[in-house]
Amino acid sequence: MTDLYLNQNQVYHLSEQVHAGLETRFIRQIGSEVYTDHRLDWRFEIAMGLRWGWWRPSLKYVSPYLRDDQVGQVYFDPLAFYIAW
């Protein structure tokens, strides 16, 4: 897929130890060598994450890539860790 996208990120400092993040992405699918007639022209993604000390869970939704897709994809990452040197 060849894409152009507009990305927005925001971080909220809820306390000294707790931070929340939000990312949105609007994507214009320009072309594909595999999917010529079936790809959607536009799609979007939204991700939310939380950092609480060393723990960093996140949740992400990706809208369908193709016209025949009935649902998007959901990613849940409960075991991500944040390590700073």
Please tell me which residue, 29 or 11, carries the higher pLDDT value. 11
Residue 84 pLDDT greater than 80, yes or no: no
Q: Which residues of 14-27 are buried (b: 16+ CB within 10 A; e: fewer)?
A: eeeeebeeebebeb
Longest CA–CA separation in the chain, Å: 50
Tell me: the pLDDT tens digits for 22-34?
999 999 988 777 7
